[in-house]
Structure 1
Amino acid sequence: MRLILLGPPGAGKGTQSARFMQKYGIPQLSTGDMLRAAVSAATPIGLKAKAIMDAGGLVSDDIVVGIVADRIRESDATRGFILDGFPRTVNQAQALDAMLAEQHMDLDSVIELKVDEAALLDRIASRVQEMVAAGKPVRADDNPDAFKTRLDAYRTLTAPVSAYYEKKGRLRTIDGMAPADTVTEMIDEVLSHCVKA
């Protein structure tokens, strides 16, 4: 199962990815997590990405594409993977198609979680409160200004990615404002038509 989850920041991609990762026994490949790991390890790419991420910006395509290309070659991704937060641009989507073709792979589905942007601010505020209550660090890019920058970037850069996959007949849209369990059921329904015997 090779799946892309699209949707703006706070749409619930991480929550849904975690559920299907467990169900199918495949890794969730979050470019955000991979970049944060590089930041935490203070690698050269991590240090470069940190300043951009702290400002709510997006790292360059070459950094992200390189990280993803390396990751999908790892042994735990041979049965499939869920891409969360990638591709963010049509260029990245085209690079992903080329990478997969080189490895004789194809995508099973591209699912977009459609949400009300105004409601996303409430979701982010709740996520920050939960992190603080749990004693966990709050992501620098979860402050309101950085979030607005991320949302604007999503609208500008990633909306064309949806159109790109729609033209290929791959895009399926799910109501991301439904309760999380309902969203899971709707995604499950889409994926049930993709699972190979």
Structure 2
Amino acid sequence: MRLVLLGPPGSGKGTQATRLKEDLGIAHISTGDLLRAEVAAGTELGKQAKAVMDAGNLVSDEILLGMLEARLGQPDVAKGFILDGYPRNVAQANALDGLLAKISQPLDAVVQLDVATELLVERIAGRAAEQGRADDNPESVRQRLQVYNEQTAPVVDFYAGRGTLARVDGVGELDEVEGRITAALPKH
């Protein structure tokens, strides 16, 4: 199973990806984790990414795609993978399609977790209070949601147009949401 999980910040992508990883026996790939690991390992891509981040800039799609290609070549990905929060824009979605075609590993499904904006703000505010994260204040959350709506929401349309998108209600108990995701996946 090769799966992309999409959804706004606070929709539960990371939580559900962790649960699905265990249930499906496939790798969970987060580009944020990939970046941190490459930088920590001091790889060539990690050095390039660190220089960009140290300058206060966003890591380029090219660097991210290189890291993703390296990760997809690792043995634990042979049975499949869950991409958590990537692609973040249509250019990345096109690049991902090209990479997956190159390695003959097309996506099986793309799942969009739908959660109302006000609930997202509440969830992230709760997480901020629990973890003491000052960057998760309501104003910054609304800004992140606006960026998501401008840049990432078009990715939903991109995959809907290809017939690979399933929209899932991301509200409810963890088991309920996971059940909805699993039910939306193609059967193999």
Shorter-chain TM-score category? 0.7 to 0.9
- Give, in angstroms, the shift of residue 60 of structure 1: 2.6
- Counterpart amino acid of 1:180? L
Q: Does 1:186 align with 2:180?
A: yes
- Give, in angstroms, the shift of residue 10 of structure 1: 0.8
What SS does structure 1 have at the residue aligned with 2:167?
strand
| 1:96-107 to 2 correspondences below 5 Å | 96-107=96-107
- Give, in angstroms, the shift of residue 78 of structure 1: 1.1
Quote the Cα distance in structure 1 between the aligned partners of 2:8 and 2:28. 17
Residues 28, 52 of structure 1: alpha-carbon distance in 2 compared, 3 angstrom cutoff: farther
1:74 corresponding residue in structure 2: 74
Structure 2 residues not aligned, in runs of 5+: none
2:115 corresponding residue in structure 1: 115
- Counterpart amino acid of 1:10? G
2:152 corresponding residue in structure 1: 158
Quote the Cα distance in structure 2 between the aligned partners of 1:21 and 1:50. 32
- Counterpart amino acid of 1:126? G
1:89-110 CA distances to partner (integer Å, 9 max, x unpaired)?
1111111111111111111110
- Give, in angstroms, the shift of residue 40 of structure 1: 5.3
Residues 179, 105 of structure 1: alpha-carbon distance in 2 compared, 3 angstrom cutoff: same
1:48 corresponding residue in structure 2: 52
Structure 1 residues not aligned, in runs of 5+: 133-137
Q: Does 1:195 align with 2:181?
A: no
Quote the Cα distance in structure 1 between the aligned partners of 2:15 and 2:182. 14
Residues 142, 63 of structure 1: alpha-carbon distance in 2 compared, 3 angstrom cutoff: farther
1:177 corresponding residue in structure 2: 171
Q: TM-score, normalised by structure 2?
A: 0.87
Quote the Cα distance in structure 1 between the aligned partners of 2:60 and 2:173. 34
Alignment: residue pair count: 184
Quote the Cα distance in structure 1 between the aligned partners of 2:170 and 2:106. 25
Quote the Cα distance in structure 1 between the aligned partners of 2:40 and 2:136. 17
Quote the Cα distance in structure 2 between the aligned partners of 1:149 and 1:68. 27
Residue identity over aligned pairs, in percent, reads 45
1:100-159 CA distances to partner (integer Å, 9 max, x unpaired)?
111111111100001111221211122123334xxxxx4x75454543332222111111
Residues 84, 141 of structure 1: alpha-carbon distance in 2 compared, 3 angstrom cutoff: farther
